[in-house]
């Protein structure tokens, strides 16, 4: 069958050009969105008296048949089909003749691809959010289990202060919570129907774009036809939100990698999420965590690829926009799989609390607690900070810990110090004292978990 746009041309496309131009090998993924858009369009055309009831019924029946045949593998596409829009319409015309030719009234491939992509993005945002919710449920469950188990909090990869495992996990809960909010927010701007904008300037045919939007489940219609066909902001927003989410996954995966090492020994990852070595029989490698850490690169790349495509495109539609699909599909697939795999891995990972406790006596984790205690003794914080710094230096030189210092040694550092001026320096004492809102005290972590559960229940 000749191209549906070939009337003005005397020559067919060169074979290599035809292959280079075709997007069917990847945009066939939009077949269901494309058919749904066509069904909504013909219903609207019929309601406006532009197509008859019989024509509408035949077109809808045939489109549903084509959809089933695509899903069953009976229809195979080739570069001659060019794209999914031309492929479906071409089959429709082959089967219905002149009736099929009426479907493309008051629309263009420009607004057709825009509505297909928006429908696809809307659906996939919902699935991404579902996977994020699963991640959040897993984190809440683990945080509750370890809400009072002590671990080391780091800054600059140096021992900083004691925290609880539950507290650390709830930090990631908050990151993924913001990811969910970002996707929900981007959905608001995606939920506009561009169909009926035609090539760039609308149409003289009396159509009802609001009715088409209603049939397709859009919240509203796009306001400007030229913007409608040239806008890819919603794809960029999804890619941006996906990049941030993948960055959160990568950060957490990085911690899994070093927590799993012999030097740390903080966690035990289930065998089903690890691999071995082809030469070293003793190895148990955290390959899934490493892969998750690395996957962020391709998602970043997809975002910057489309940003680069869009930056030099004048209004309205340009063929450059065809380059939005492969990166979009890859981003969505990568993010959904990464979230699901990581959530399952976290679910089957346990913390080695006894190993962690062996590390708690390193790095003067309770130094800040002493300084804050001195503040309660009416010593200005900067002065208290300096005093504790001198205590740390003395302990390092003399290979001692705070609790080993005698009254005489303390008095030599500052004449206001004695053992009696010390607070509870146990890790439990340090943890339990941090009850400030958002702090690491077990009671505060339990509050955070409760708030997290309530929020998650609200968005289900």
pLDDT in tens, 65-90: 999 999 999 999 988 889 999 999 99
Q: Is 293 helix (H, G, I), strand (E, B) or coil?
A: helix
Q: What is the mean pLDDT of residues 401-426?
A: 92
List pLDDT tens digits, range 131-171: 999 999 999 999 999 999 999 999 999 999 999 999 999 99
Contacts of 196 (CB under 8 A, 6+ apart): 41, 106, 107, 111, 202, 203, 207, 209, 212, 221
- CA 170, chain centre distance (Å): 18
Kindly list the domain boundaries of the chain, sorted by start residue: 6-105, 110-143+163-204+222-357, 367-459
What's residue 294's pLDDT? 96
What's residue 5's pLDDT? 45
- CA 453, chain centre distance (Å): 20
List pLDDT tens digits, range 353-383: 999 999 999 999 999 999 999 999 999 999 9
Residue 6 pLDDT > 90: no
- Tell me which CATH code domain 6-105 carries: 1.10.275.10
Between CA 235 and CA 407 the distance in angstroms is 66
Q: What is the mean pLDDT of residues 99-128?
A: 98
Structure tokens at 248: 């959160």
Residue 279 pLDDT > 70: yes
Contacts of 29 (CB under 8 A, 6+ apart): 84, 120, 325, 329
Sign, CA dihedral 23-24-29-31, equals: positive
Highest mean pLDDT among 75-84, 280-289, 412-421, 449-458: 449-458
Q: What is the mean pLDDT of residues 329-348?
A: 98
Q: Which residues does the annotation mark as catalytic?
A: 156, 277
367-459 is classed in which CATH architecture? Orthogonal Bundle (1.10)
- Tell me which CATH code domain 110-143+163-204+222-357 carries: 1.20.200.10
Query: Predicted confidence band at 216 (pLDDT cuts at 50, 70, 90)?
Result: very high
Query: Do the two domains 6-105 and 110-143+163-204+222-357 of this chain adopt the same fold?
Result: no
Which helix H or strand E contains 269, and what residues bound it?
A: strand 267-269
Could you tell me what percent of the chain has a pLDDT over 70?
97
> CA 267, 273, 274: angle at the middle one, nearest 5?
80
Spell out where 114-201 has E strands: 150-155, 158-164, 192-193
Estimate the crossing angle of helix 287-311 against helix 233-259, to 10 degrees.
160
Query: Predicted confidence band at 173 (pLDDT cuts at 50, 70, 90)?
Result: very high
């Amino acid at each position: 069958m000749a191209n549906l746009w070939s009337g003005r041309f005397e020559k067919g496309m060169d074979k290599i050009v035809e292959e280079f131009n075709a997007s069917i090998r990847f945009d066939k993924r939009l077949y269901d969105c494309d058919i749904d858009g066509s069904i909504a369009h013909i219903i609207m055309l019929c309601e406006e008296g532009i197509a008859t009831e019989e024509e509408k019924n035949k077109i809808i029946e045939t489109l549903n048949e084509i959809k089933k045949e695509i899903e069953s593998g009976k229809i195979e596409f080739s570069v001659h089909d060019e794209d999914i829009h031309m492929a479906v319409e071409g089959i429709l015309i082959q089967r219905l003749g002149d009736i099929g030719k009426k479907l493309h009234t008051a629309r263009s491939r420009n607004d057709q691809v825009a509505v297909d992509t928006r429908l696809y993005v809307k659906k996939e945002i919902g699935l991404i959010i579902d996977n994020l919710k699963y991640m959040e449920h897993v984190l809440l469950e683990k945080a509750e289990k370890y809400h009072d188990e002590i671990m080391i909090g780091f800054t600059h990869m140096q021992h900083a202060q004691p925290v609880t495992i539950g507290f650390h996990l709830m930090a990631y809960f908050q990151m993924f919570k913001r990811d969910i909010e970002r996707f929900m927010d981007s959905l608001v701007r995606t939920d506009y129907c561009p169909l009926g904008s035609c090539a760039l300037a609308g149409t003289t045919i009396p159509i009802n774009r609001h009715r088409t939007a209603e049939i397709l489940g859009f919240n509203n219609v796009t306001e400007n036809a030229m913007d409608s066909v040239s806008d890819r902001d919603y794809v960029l927003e999804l890619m941006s939100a996906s990049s941030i989410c993948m960055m959160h996954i990568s950060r957490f995966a990085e911690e899994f990698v070093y927590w799993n090492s012999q030097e740390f020994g903080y966690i035990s990852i289930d065998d089903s999420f690890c691999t071995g070595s082809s030469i070293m029989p003793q190895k148990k490698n955290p390959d899934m965590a490493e892969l998750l850490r690395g996957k962020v690169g391709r998602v970043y790349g997809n975002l910057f690829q489309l940003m680069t495509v869009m930056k030099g495109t004048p209004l309205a539609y340009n063929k450059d926009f065809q380059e939005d699909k492969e990166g979009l599909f890859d981003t969505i697939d990568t993010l959904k799989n990464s979230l699901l795999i990581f959530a399952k891995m976290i679910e089957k990972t346990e913390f080695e609390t006894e190993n962690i406790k062996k590390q708690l006596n390193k790095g003067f984790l309770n130094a800040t607690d002493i300084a804050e205690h001195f503040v309660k003794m009416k010593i200005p914080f900067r002065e208290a900070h300096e005093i504790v710094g001198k205590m740390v230096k003395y302990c390092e030189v003399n290979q001692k810990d705070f609790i080993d210092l005698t009254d005489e040694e303390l008095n030599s550092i500052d004449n206001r110090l004695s053992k009696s001026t010390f607070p509870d320096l146990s890790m439990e004492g340090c943890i339990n004292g941090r009850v400030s809102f958002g702090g690491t005290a077990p009671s505060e972590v339990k509050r955070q978990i409760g708030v997290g559960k309530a929020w998650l229940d609200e968005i289900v």
